Structure 1
Amino acid sequence: MTDTTANPLLAPSTLPYGLPDYSRIRPEHYLPAFEEAFAQHRAEITNITRVRSMPTFENTMVPLETAGRLLSDVAHAFYTVSSADATAEIQQLDEELAPLMAAHQDAIQLDAQLYARIRTLHEQLDALDLAPEARYLVERHFREMTHAGAALDDGAKERLTALNQRLSTLTTTFEKNLLADTNDLAVVFHDVAELDGLTEGELSAAAQNAVDRGLEGTWVVTLTLFTGHPYLSTLTNRESRRRILEASRARGSRGNEHDNRAVLREIVRLRAERAALLGYDSHAAYVTSDETAGSPEAVHALLRRLAVPAAANARREQEALQRIIDADAAPFALEAHDWAFYTEKVRAAEYDLDRTALRPWFEAERVLQDGVFRAATELYGVTFTERADLSSYHPDARTFELHNADGSALGLYVLDLYTRDTKRGGAWMNSIVAQSRLRGTAPVVVNNLNVPKPAAGKPTLLTLDEVTTLFHEFGHALHGLFAVVTYPHFAGTNVFRDFVEFPSQVNEMWIYWPEILDSYARHIDTGEPLPAEVVEKIQASESFNQGFATSEYLAASWIDQAWHSLTQAEAAEDLDVAAFEAAALADIGLDNPVVPTRYSSTYFAHVFSGGYSAGYYSYIWSEVLDADTVEWFRENGGLTRANGDRFRERLLGVGGSKDPLEAYRDFRGRAAEIEPLLTRRGLDA
């Protein structure tokens, strides 16, 4: 037995809300803790399956939901760190754990005796007198175990387990390669003049990046997860823009030790084989069968419907950008690395707006306190208190305690704002502790962003895109904090993948809500609010670049669908990654070289190392609900406690304990309509 006194992960945390005591946790603690947690969980499942009496909800479902508590705690603690502070030692552990986790999950999900008990309950469901959440729990466990392969014979299960373990290793390798190549391809500039157009804070961050890498006297621009880069909109040196975009697009495809092409091809092959083993034509068919979309055909229909007008809008935008360039003394043909820079010129010319000059109004702390937090307080009555006494997994991660309007404790929110070489790219929310009445736990959630950290003493000034990301990710956090469920299976954001983005997208609406904007968008030096005429110009100009924004997103969604719609026979072919991607984009009419896909295959972490395989469409799928919900808020008075309470109670508060489309109809009074989305993205002409 592992010594629980020597390993802080094996004893309940003494910190508020069960926050792991990261000050005591060392890398060498994780693996023994996982091994003990695996053993405990297996024993708990055996205790359920060895019961000789007929299955009941009380002797099967309740102990199933209480089982695995230690594993849940250890896994949440570890995977928070492996995403946000993946040192070499943590990366090694992640690789070692991936197949072990996959094997353990399969051992539970494919357990024939457990499945038989749950199947019996499912067959008797109408005769059981269960509360709605309990009934849905039986339905979901039965569906998920069936979907995972619990009904297969032993030989098929053995192959399935091998596939899952190999896939877990490959997806971990993909992420490790991407992180390494992203760091290696950070662009070094030796003359600050090459970075003309960047703000003082951005230059400070680039200089600090250089110091951190032992390259004093230079400036280092680190890459973002997506294809583009915020600096492309302001850098006046065209060659500097080209170098940054070229580096970004090269990730994972350079023929070096971090090349991801063979990795992703094997992932695609094995996912297709697994889908066939489970009775589906493709991985996309397998995934969407248990999402609100229902089938890849439904997804493809939506994407194709949107692609034609989006591509047409992008071409019109391209022509407008080219006219700006043609008016220069030395005109040239617009290329991908020029798009963002000349988009800002169009905004300046047509809307008299320079978005790059807005940063002084978006100081990070004020955006957080007087924007993100204030909107939540106005809507839901929650209040925030920073807990400097509660240290998290990294010095940059700050912890806040939330209370409800009646003073009752709600949970903890951790914000980790800044980029670093040990943090994966992008932005995300995850739970450290999930709420559950059965387990007596309250939520602890984390938001991670990748904002460049300025030198000490310099303010953090956000771009408008970074402001949007902060509001978006906090929408996920609210979902994780507000869900009040009995069973941990339904906690927080444990909802269908193509529904999970909905609450986060809705939360973006408060960015421009007048009293919220007036509260946080204050000039760093003068305290003056962002002028009303500037806000009007921002909103008027938003529609200009929607052709590009929609096209780059749809292109990535289609690439995801193309890879994962392959049959087992098709995926077995030795496909050239670049050629496959080009053919897919041509098929949907999004092969404009000036509008690159938001993610190319070799650095598409969402689908090859994250949880969005065959599911990247979920952002636009959820946006149908989001745009319809924004209309509801506007029709009903906007930022009010009554509206917030309704949205919290009927949507955020149910977590995964109810069919999401049923919950939406309960909130809205009807199913969502697509017209608000088409209008928002300029696709209704």
Structure 2
Amino acid sequence: MVNPVLAPSDLPHGLPDFASIGDDDFLPAFAEAMDTQLAEVETIAGDGRPATFANTIEALELSGRDLARAAGVFFNLVGPDTNPQRNEISQKLSTLLTDHANTIAMDARLFGRIADLYGRRTELDLTEAQDRLLAKRYREAVRAGAGLGPEEQERMRRISSRLAYLTTTFSQMILDDTNESAVFVEDVADLDGLSAGEIAAARRAAADAGRGAGYLITLELPTSQSVLTSLTDRGVRQRVFDASVGRCSRGNSHDTRALVLEIVGLRAERARLLGYTDHAEYVIAEETAPNPSAVLDLLGELTASAIRAGGRELTRLTRLADEEIGAADLTFWLNREKRSTSAVSLDDFADYCELDAVLERGVFHAAGKLYGLRFAERRDLAGYHPDVRVWDVLNDSGRSIGLFLGDYFARPSKRGGAWMNNIVDQSAVLATQPIVVNVLNLTKPDEGEHCLLTMDQLTTLFHEFGHALHGLLSAVDYPSQSGTSVPRDFVEFPSQVNEMWALHPDVLSHYARHHVTGEPIPAELAEAARASANTESAHGTIEYLAAAVLDLAWHRLSADDTVDDVEAFERDALRSAGFVGDLIPPRYRSAYFNHIFGGGYSAGYYSYIWSEVLDAETEQWFLAEGGLQRSAGQRFAEATLSRGDSVDPLVAHEKLIGRKAEIGPLLTRRGLGAVSS
């Protein structure tokens, strides 16, 4: 019998039949798929004919289809809907898959064929996409250790395997500790300032956790918790803040600090084995940024300006509060300042941002206007969880180009944050169309109630859909170049661009209706929302920059450097970069910085601000082209969204706007003025 994980699906675009798959099927499926790919690679490596692009690079690219199918299913479950068995499977797979990849990368016969082609690549008459694929395969093999001696290769294998185990463990420990660190309150009066929907969610969370008659404030992944902007009780704010910043560093079974130190040390050792100064140099060698120094220069300039703006901001807030403000109070008073300076109250804005309306008449509407897309919900198709919804994605000719899955509500089995994943990658060579997933952590409303979005949640919805568009509009030959398979410091660019449509007059007016009365949003409220969104707080910029600096500080350590105290290192690194005091902690402290110790952003958290330089320029380009226009959307899709990694992304962007991007629009957007001022 065919393992249900590997069985071809007759559902549209190969959507997995999740109902037919049990957790016990995964490990046998992966074992079978890895064996199949090793047999395919043996055929490629042992081919007695001279190496060609077709019989080596393309053949390698098209190998492992069963493994890709299994990964597309499993890793789209373990993030948004895990359980103890899936966690155990994930832990086993972390090392099995790493060892499998190393076995292929370090095959001397295969590397010899790749290196031969790479040395002759100017003679091969390759397309740009093929040349990029060949170069990437060569670099990947070298970076995996294919060019090292036997002893160094064996050490590389051990390092890679151990890192895979540690980073998977790190992510699981954050989820567990974040769930356990939720703040319980007995009296509803302690939740003054929260909406009725938020209070109902806290009541449900307490009941689900077996806490009885009370309220449980669950934590979000970043340091800053959104409830702190609204809770009027200072003591409760402090409890929530302390719970957030103390995660994974309390000396309990979820303490990640030892993992941090081991991960950092192993990454530095791997970098040295491969001839790099440190892990940051190793990572950034594959990005659009030229080197770590260029990144640090940008972060340093922005930090100096942000710190000055932060001083002015704190002075205003202290005057408004008429008392000393602590770290737990800053976002509360920032929210109060926004409300006090706005021409109209923003308290009612969420009443005009009901999730379904924003999706159908906002997010999808903008995609239709710009890219000619139409979204037809398929209630006959099931996702991996009852909350997951499925849409067929149709182009302007009415042809289905893929599926879009939306998984929007928080649950204890879902890790924090928001993200996009592919279940199936687009590829012309494989004749596959994309299946893309957006995952958020919105509060699920009570039955019969509406999910109303805050400004931040609205932006996140549009942001993640920008990633989805990058996947859905992909039009490349090879799956490894599809959609978001671009350098890490470019991948956030399309998603950031899509944020601009959230409050654009032509989009907001289309979706913003009162969820009860159906009345359109008042013009003055719409303008106030745009004015508020266009005013980036210094607090937000500082907490992001502090996290980006902290990431690079950890990953600029060499293999000879020794650190034994995570908090002391963190304090020293931030102080050296100009972040003095504890009033604005980093967006993520080291112990729960999942992006860099559990995810794929190590030495790459700078990517958001690096991409935002391109984004701010592109927003100006769209506005100059007339805004929500099909012609502009088509040009942007042709230049960026459809090309994936088949072209140099920076060159493509320069062609789009007619020059290299400059930092000015970003500084204006963030209210930082000239860097040197």
TM-score range, shorter chain: over 0.9
- Structure 2 counterpart of 1:429: 420
Are 2:127 and 1:142 aligned? no
- Structure 2 counterpart of 1:677: 666
- Structure 2 counterpart of 1:231: 227
1:163 to 145, 151, 159: 159
Cα deviation for residue 607 of structure 1 reads 0.2
Aligned length in residues: 674
- Structure 2 counterpart of 1:267: 263
**Letter of the 1:149 counterpart:** G
* Distance in structure 2 (CA, Å) of the matches to 1:469 and 1:531: 23
Are 2:207 and 1:211 aligned? yes
Q: Which moved more, 1:157-166 or 1:543-552?
A: 543-552
**Letter of the 2:656 counterpart:** F
SS of the residue aligned with 1:662?
A: helix
Kindly tell me: are residues 397 and 224 of structure 1, through their superposed partners in 2, closer, same or farther at Cα, counting changes over 3 Å?
Answer: same
SS of the residue aligned with 1:23?
A: helix
Cα deviation for residue 543 of structure 1 reads 5.4
Which string of whole-angstrom CA distances, capped at 9 and with x for unpartnered residues, describes residues 301-342 of structure 1? 11001000101111111111100111xxxxx31011111111
- Structure 2 counterpart of 1:322: 318
- Structure 2 counterpart of 1:630: 619
Kindly tell me: are residues 503 and 443 of structure 1, through their superposed partners in 2, closer, same or farther at Cα, counting changes over 3 Å?
Answer: same
1:649 to 632, 638, 643: 638
- Structure 2 counterpart of 1:50: 46
2:295 to 273, 278, 299: 299
**Letter of the 1:630 counterpart:** E
User: What TM-score, normalized to structure 1?
Assistant: 0.97
The 5 Å alignment of 1:169-184 reads: 169-184=165-180
Which string of whole-angstrom CA distances, capped at 9 and with x for unpartnered residues, describes residues 477-514 of structure 1? 00011111111110111000000000000000001111
- Structure 1 counterpart of 2:629: 640
1:18 to 7, 14, 19: 14
- Structure 2 counterpart of 1:284: 280
The 5 Å alignment of 1:403-552 reads: 403-542=394-533, 544-552=535-543
Kindly tell me: are residues 243 and 355 of structure 1, through their superposed partners in 2, closer, same or farther at Cα, counting changes over 3 Å?
Answer: farther
Are 2:69 and 1:73 aligned? yes
SS of the residue aligned with 1:447?
A: strand
1:588 to 549, 555, 577: 577
* Distance in structure 1 (CA, Å) of the matches to 2:654 and 2:456: 31
Q: Which moved more, 1:167-176 or 1:143-152?
A: 143-152
**Letter of the 1:567 counterpart:** S
Which string of whole-angstrom CA distances, capped at 9 and with x for unpartnered residues, describes residues 211-263 of structure 1? 21122311111100000111111111111111111101111100000000001
- Structure 1 counterpart of 2:360: 369
- Structure 2 counterpart of 1:329: none
* Distance in structure 1 (CA, Å) of the matches to 2:520 and 2:13: 38
* Distance in structure 1 (CA, Å) of the matches to 2:435 and 2:574: 41
**Letter of the 1:490 counterpart:** Q
* Distance in structure 2 (CA, Å) of the matches to 1:557 and 1:624: 15
Cα deviation for residue 528 of structure 1 reads 2.2
CA contact (8 A) 2:497 2:618 kept: yes
* Distance in structure 1 (CA, Å) of the matches to 2:227 and 2:536: 17
**Letter of the 1:377 counterpart:** G
- Structure 2 counterpart of 1:554: 545
**Letter of the 2:136 counterpart:** R
* Distance in structure 2 (CA, Å) of the matches to 1:638 and 1:399: 29
**Letter of the 1:661 counterpart:** L
* Distance in structure 1 (CA, Å) of the matches to 2:232 and 2:535: 21
Q: What residue ranges of structure 2 are gaps of 5+ in the alignment?
A: none
Are 2:648 and 1:659 aligned? yes
The 5 Å alignment of 1:567-606 reads: 567-570=558-561, 573-606=562-595
* Distance in structure 2 (CA, Å) of the matches to 1:523 and 1:195: 25
- Structure 2 counterpart of 1:221: 217
What is the CA RMSD across the aligned residues, in angstroms? Answer: 1.2
CA contact (8 A) 2:392 2:403 kept: yes
SS of the residue aligned with 1:193?
A: helix
**Letter of the 2:457 counterpart:** E
CA contact (8 A) 2:536 2:670 kept: no
SS of the residue aligned with 1:651?
A: helix
**Letter of the 1:180 counterpart:** D
* Distance in structure 2 (CA, Å) of the matches to 1:557 and 1:419: 26
1:114 to 88, 110, 115: 110
Cα deviation for residue 109 of structure 1 reads 2.0
1:312 to 301, 308, 312: 308
CA contact (8 A) 1:427 1:449 kept: yes
Cα deviation for residue 544 of structure 1 reads 4.8
SS of the residue aligned with 2:19?
A: coil
CA contact (8 A) 1:564 1:613 kept: yes
CA contact (8 A) 1:119 1:142 kept: yes
Cα deviation for residue 132 of structure 1 reads 2.1
Cα deviation for residue 646 of structure 1 reads 0.5
SS of the residue aligned with 2:207?
A: helix
* Distance in structure 2 (CA, Å) of the matches to 1:216 and 1:400: 38
**Letter of the 2:619 counterpart:** V
SS of the residue aligned with 2:560?
A: helix
Kindly tell me: are residues 636 and 309 of structure 1, through their superposed partners in 2, closer, same or farther at Cα, counting changes over 3 Å?
Answer: same
CA contact (8 A) 1:398 1:414 kept: yes
Q: Which moved more, 1:591-600 or 1:370-379?
A: 591-600
Q: What residue ranges of structure 1 are gaps of 5+ in the alignment?
A: 327-331
CA contact (8 A) 1:175 1:609 kept: yes
Cα deviation for residue 520 of structure 1 reads 1.3
- Structure 2 counterpart of 1:128: 124
**Letter of the 1:302 counterpart:** L
SS of the residue aligned with 1:568?
A: coil
**Letter of the 1:622 counterpart:** S
CA contact (8 A) 1:202 1:452 kept: yes
Are 2:90 and 1:94 aligned? yes
**Letter of the 2:451 counterpart:** T
- Structure 1 counterpart of 2:328: 337
CA contact (8 A) 1:292 1:498 kept: yes
SS of the residue aligned with 1:10?
A: coil
